[in-house]
Structure 1
Amino acid sequence: MDFEVAAPDPSGMVASLSSLGYSLPTAIADLVDNSVSAKAANIDVDFTWDGESSWIAVTDDGEGMTESELVTAMTVAARGPSAERSATDLGRFGMGLKSASFSQCRKLTVATVRDGRWHVRTWDLGVVERFKQWRLLRAPGDTTTTLVHRIAGSMQHGTVVLWEQLSGYHSTAVTSDDEKTQAQFYAEVERTEAHLSMVFARFLQPPARCRIRVRGTDLSPWDPFLTTHPSLQRVPCEPLPLGPESVRVEPFVLPTAQRLSEAEYTAAAGPKGWLGQQGFYVYRRDRLILAGDWLGIRGLRREEKYNLARIAVDIPAGADAAWGVDVRKASVVPPVPLRRHLERIARYTREAASRSARQRGQVVSRTHGDPLKFAWIVKRRDGRIHLRINRKHPLVKAALCDQGSDSDVVRSMLRLLEETVPVTALRMLHETDTVDDPEPFGGPGPAAPETVEIARQVYEAFLGQGRSPEDARGALSSMPPFDEQRGFWNS
C-alpha cells in the first residue's frame, strides 16, 4: 500500500468546529446531553458576568469519569457514530462536547470526580493554534483552578464543564461595567431556559428523571402537545416500519384559543410562536431533536390555519444515519421510504387542525410570534380581517428610515399594497393544499442568489439597528421564509 498520512491542520480543524452553526442554547443543550447520559439527578447551568472574564459552566452530579474516560471525552471524534453506546447515551459522533464548546469559547475545562478522585483537562485554542498540535493541558492555570473549586464545592461525584474566553465577550473592549453588553449576555439566559425546557421536557415531566436549573431557577417542562388538556384531539398513533425497528408517529390537534386560558395560550405558543411551532417534533431517546418543522415536504409550508397541528415522531437511536441526524442534533432528513407516509399523516393532521380552527372562527394572528419575523400582520378588528405590512420588520423599517429615499412615497406604496391584497384570488388558490401552490423563493432547500441578497439586506438592517452579528444571524435563521432555506445565516 503506497500512501501518505494527510493529517488535518489543528488550526483549520478548530476553525471548522467553531463554525458548525450552534447557537448558545443549542450548544449548552449538547453539554446537558452528556450530563443526562451520566445519569445525573441534578444539572446546573451558571452564567456569570465579569466583562471579558465572563464564564458559563454546566455542573452535574452524575457518575463522573476516570482519567482515561476524560481524555477520551476530550478527544475530537474519539467515538464515531458506530460506537456501541448505553441506552441513556444521547451522543452520536463523539464531537458534541468539543464542537459545542469551541463554537462558544476559546478555553474549555472539564473537571470530573469519581470515587473521590479528581481529574482535570483543558483545551486552550490559543495553545493549539500556536503550537499546531492538539495539546490537551493537564493544568488549566491558577485562575481556572480556583474557579473550578468554587463551582464544584464539596461534590463527591460528577462533572464540571467550564467555558472561559467566551466568543463575542473576550475582548479588552468589553468591561465589567458595560451595561449594554451585560444585558445582552443575560438575555441569553432566558433563551437558554426556553430551549432546555423544550428539548428535555420528557426528562423533566413527572416522574422527573432529572432536575435542571439555570442560574438557580428550576426549569419546568414545555409540552408542545398539551397532553393533559381535556380539549386536545388525539389522532391515532401509527408505527412506521424502518428496517428491523419502527418509527412511532403520533399526531395531535391542539385546543383552539377559546378553550385555553390566556396563560395557557401564551405558553402553548412556545419559543417560536404559534406559526413557528407547528409541524413535526422529532425525538430520539426522548431528547427533542427538531421542534416544529414540516421536514421539507413539498407543498407543506407554515400557515396560520395549521397552527394547531403538531406531530410527535420517535425515532430509534439506531436510525440516526437513516434520518441524517447532524452533529448539532438540530436537524434531520427523513428516510426516503417514510416520506410518503409522513406526508400523508401531515396532510390529514393539517386538515383536521384547519377544520378545528374554522369551526371556532378563529384567526390566529402572526403577532403572537416574534413581531420582527413576519412581513405581514393579520388581525381581526370590528368583525373584519385586516392585513397590514409589518412596519417593525427590519427591512421595512430600514426603507422607512433611509435618508436617501422618500419616506412618504414608501409609506404610500405600503398602504396601496395593504389595501389591494388579492384576497378573492388567494382564497380560490388556497382553498386546499395543492402541489402547485406558490412557495416563497422556490420553497425549502439551498437559497438562490436573489434570496441570499434579500437575506443579506435584512441582516444588514439588523446590524444597523444595534444587533450583534450572531444575534442577527440567529434572528434571520428563524424568520420565514429564510428558516426553510439554507444560506449564510445558518451555514
Structure 2
Amino acid sequence: MTTTARKVRNDECSIIALDRFIQATRDSGYKGTASAISELVDNSIQAGANRIGISINAKAGEDDSKVIEVSVVDNGSGMDPFTLRQALRFGGSTRFGDRSGLGRYGMGLPNASLSQARRVTVFTWQSARGQKIGIAGSRRASNSAPPQVYMSYLDVDEIVRCEMVEVPRPSIVRKLPGACASPSGTIVQWTQCDRLDARRISTIVRKLESELGRRFRHFLWNGLRLTINGDAITPIDPLFVHSEAQISGAQLFGDEMRYEVRADPADASKTGWVRVRFSELPVHQWHKLSNEDKRRIGVSKGAGVSIVRGGREVDYGWFFMGSKHRENYDDWWRCEIQFDPVLDEAFGVTHTKQQVRPQSHLLEALTPDLEATARALSARARKAHLAVKTAERFSAAERIANERDHLLRRLPKNAEQRATALMKELIKQHPALRQALGEGRSRYTIIEATVKDTSFFTYAHDGERLVLVLNPDHPFNREIYKPLADVDSPHDQQLRAKLELLLLAAARAEAMATGKSGALSRHRLEWSDTLAAFLNDK
C-alpha cells in the first residue's frame, strides 16, 4: 500500500470527521441564545468574576446590512496561554470532572459559542503577578509589567474547509480591546452570528434579562453584578418570596424539606443533600391582575419546579409530581429544589446544564412528599379562589348599603349579646373582618357560613359593623340564591345584588329592634322553616 493510500485510509477512519462534526455540533445541545450565553456566565463565575458584562450590538456588514455581534467580558482570573487553548477545545477543560464549580466537561465555551455564531474569539489576561508563563514557556521575571492579553479563536468555515484542524496557538494582542479594564479577565466575542434567537437586539435583550435573571438569581443576590448593554439584570425569583426580586409577595409554605440521597443507589458511601422549598402565591391580592399582567410576571402558565445545582438553575418543569396532573390552580404555588453537585447522576444533569432526567431512586425518595404538598397547595388555591369569588359576589350590595347608610337611623351602639358573640366567632374564621372601619372597610359585610339553627340567614353586630350571614345549607341557597350567584350576566348580577340588599335590610331592621331580639329571631326561624318546607321537593 502506498503512502498516499495509507494517508487517505487513515483520514477516512479518524475518530471524528471534523468538518461534519462541527456542523452537527451546531445543531445539538442548546435550546437558544440565553442557554448558550449562560454557559459563558458559568465560566466567568467559575473564574471568580463578580462583574460580568454582556454586550449585544449591531455592526455594518459587507453588504451594508446590520449584523449582530455578542461579547461577554468579566473580571475573573483570566487564563494563561495553555489554559486558553484548552478552553477552546471540545472536552478540553483543565477542570474535567470537577464538581466544585458550575462546569465539568469542558464543552461549554466552544459548544455554546458555535451553536450561535460561526466564529468565536477569546481575549484573556491575567494580573502581572499571576502571569508567569509566556507563549513558548519562558518565565517572565517582572511582576510590575502590564498584563499581556492573549487571543485565540475558532472559525466554523475554516474548520469545514479543513484549514483549521487544531486550536490556534494563542498570540499576544498588541492593540488591547477597550473592555480590558480590570487587572485580569476574559472577553468572549461572537461574530458572524447566524443562529441567534431573534434579529432584533431589543428582543434578544428582553429574553436574556428574563432567563438570566432567573437562572443566576442566587448569585445576583450574593453580590454578582451581571449587565446587558450596561443595564444591570434584576434577579427573578420563581417562588416570588425574595424581597430583592423583581416581583415578590408570596409566602413560604411549611418548613424546608431535606433529604439525604445516594448518588448511586448501589453505593451507600457517597450521598448528597436535597433541599426543597414550596411557596404560596397571594390569591387575594393578585387574582384581579389582568391576564396580560399575570403572564408578564410569570403567574399564568408558570406552574412548576425550579431545579437548582450549586446555586444555578439548570431546569424548570413539572418534576416529582407523581400522578398529579397540572391544573390552573397550580399556577398559585411554586417549588424550588436545590441539590449538591455530587448528585448530578441522580438528577441526570446534561452537560449543557439545561435539563434534568431524575433517576428512579431519586423519584422514589422525593415524589411522595412533593406530590402530597402540591395537592394540598392546589386545594388551598382552589379554596382561596372560591373565597375571592364569594367576596366579589357581595361587593355591589355591600357598597350600595354603605353609601345609603347615612339616610337611615344609626345602628345602636349597644348590640345584642348574641350578635356580638357571633361577631367574635366570625372574626376568628374570617381575617378580613379584623380590619377596622377607618381602613376603608364597609360598614356592611356579607359572608356564607353554616349557622347553628335552621335559619336561612342571621346576622352579627358589634355596634359599628353589621355582618349578614347566609346559610349555605338552607334550601333557599340551593334553589334561589346559588343559581343567581353562579351566573355572570349583568341582569342576574343586578338581581342578586337586590336580593342581598333585601336580606341586609331585614337583618338591619332586626338589629335596630333592641330588646326584642328574642321574638324577632323566633319569627326569622319560623319564616326560615316555612320557606324550607315550600322549597323542598320532598
Q: CA deviation at 1:267?
A: 8.1
2-structure distance, mates of 1:102, 1:149 = 22
Is 1:309 aligned to residue 333 of structure 2? yes
Name the residue aligned to 2:254. Answer: 235
Name the residue aligned to 1:117. Answer: 148
Instruction: Pick closer, same or farther for the CA change 1:123–1:202 going to 2, 3 Å.
Output: same
1-structure distance, mates of 2:48, 2:66 = 34
> CA contact under 8 A between 2:304 and 2:334: conserved in structure 1?
yes
AA in 1 matched with 2:25: L
Three-state SS of the structure 2 residue aligned to 1:149 is: coil
Instruction: Pick closer, same or farther for the CA change 1:66–1:140 going to 2, 3 Å.
Output: closer
1-structure distance, mates of 2:305, 2:94 = 27
> CA contact under 8 A between 1:56 and 1:162: conserved in structure 2?
yes
Name the residue aligned to 1:174. Answer: none
Q: CA deviation at 1:263?
A: 8.5
2-structure distance, mates of 1:296, 1:250 = 11
1-structure distance, mates of 2:169, 2:217 = 36
Q: How does 1:53-452 map to 2 (within 5 A)?
A: 53-79=67-93, 83-84=97-98, 87=100, 89-115=101-127, 116-131=147-162, 133-138=164-169, 149-150=177-178, 152-168=179-195, 184-205=200-221, 208-228=222-242, 232-243=251-262, 244-260=270-286, 273-291=298-316, 293-295=317-319, 299-361=323-385
Instruction: Pick closer, same or farther for the CA change 1:263–1:275 going to 2, 3 Å.
Output: closer
Q: CA deviation at 1:91?
A: 0.5
Q: Relative to structure 2, which stretch is displaced further, 121-130 or 309-318?
A: 309-318
Q: Relative to structure 2, which stretch is displaced further, 125-134 or 75-84?
A: 75-84
Instruction: Pick closer, same or farther for the CA change 1:64–1:306 going to 2, 3 Å.
Output: same
Q: CA deviation at 1:219?
A: 1.0
What TM-score results when the alignment is normalised by the length of structure 1? 0.63
Q: Structure 2: 5+ residue runs without aligned partners? A: 1-9, 60-64, 128-146, 243-247, 263-269, 389-484, 490-538
AA in 1 matched with 2:213: S
> CA contact under 8 A between 2:83 and 2:94: conserved in structure 1?
no
Instruction: Pick closer, same or farther for the CA change 1:156–1:81 going to 2, 3 Å.
Output: closer
2-structure distance, mates of 1:305, 1:321 = 32
Three-state SS of the structure 1 residue aligned to 2:161 is: helix
> CA contact under 8 A between 2:77 and 2:126: conserved in structure 1?
yes
Q: How many residues align?
A: 345
2-structure distance, mates of 1:277, 1:43 = 28
Q: CA deviation at 1:347?
A: 1.8
Q: CA deviation at 1:269?
A: 5.6
> CA contact under 8 A between 1:110 and 1:160: conserved in structure 2?
yes
Instruction: Pick closer, same or farther for the CA change 1:13–1:108 going to 2, 3 Å.
Output: same
Name the residue aligned to 1:375. Answer: none
> CA contact under 8 A between 1:113 and 1:119: conserved in structure 2?
yes
1-structure distance, mates of 2:185, 2:80 = 11
**Percent of aligned positions with the same letter in both sequences?**
22
2-structure distance, mates of 1:217, 1:9 = 42
> CA contact under 8 A between 1:251 and 1:349: conserved in structure 2?
no
**1:199-252, Cα deviation, whole Å (9 max, x unpaired):** 0000111xx331000111111111111224675142222222222323323231
> CA contact under 8 A between 2:306 and 2:336: conserved in structure 1?
yes
Instruction: Pick closer, same or farther for the CA change 1:81–1:41 going to 2, 3 Å.
Output: closer
2-structure distance, mates of 1:257, 1:71 = 54
> CA contact under 8 A between 1:235 and 1:250: conserved in structure 2?
no
2-structure distance, mates of 1:312, 1:342 = 13
AA in 2 matched with 1:288: E
Q: CA deviation at 1:198?
A: 0.2
Instruction: Pick closer, same or farther for the CA change 1:22–1:141 going to 2, 3 Å.
Output: farther
1-structure distance, mates of 2:357, 2:249 = 33
What TM-score results when the alignment is normalised by the length of structure 2? 0.58
**1:78-120, Cα deviation, whole Å (9 max, x unpaired):** 23996335x3x21122101111111100000010010212111
**1:459-490, Cα deviation, whole Å (9 max, x unpaired):** xxxxxxxxxxxxxxxxxxxxxxxxxxxxxxxx
Q: CA RMSD, aligned part only?
A: 3.3
Q: Structure 1: 5+ residue runs without aligned partners? A: 170-180, 365-381, 387-491
2-structure distance, mates of 1:70, 1:91 = 16
Q: Relative to structure 2, which stretch is displaced further, 108-117 or 338-347?
A: 338-347
Is 1:46 aligned to residue 55 of structure 2? yes
Q: How does 1:12-23 map to 2 (within 5 A)?
A: 12-20=20-28, 21-23=30-32
AA in 1 matched with 2:84: L
**1:52-87, Cα deviation, whole Å (9 max, x unpaired):** 5420000001111111111111111023996335x3
Ranked by relative contact order (alpha carbons within 8 Å, sequence separation 6 or more), the top structure is 1
AA in 1 matched with 2:16: P
AA in 1 matched with 2:307: V
AA in 1 matched with 2:24: S
> CA contact under 8 A between 1:40 and 1:63: conserved in structure 2?
yes
Instruction: Pick closer, same or farther for the CA change 1:168–1:102 going to 2, 3 Å.
Output: closer
Runs of 4+ with deviation above 4 angstroms: 138-142, 228-231, 260-271, 382-386
Work out which of the two has the higher radius of gyration on C-alpha atoms and give 1 or 2: 2
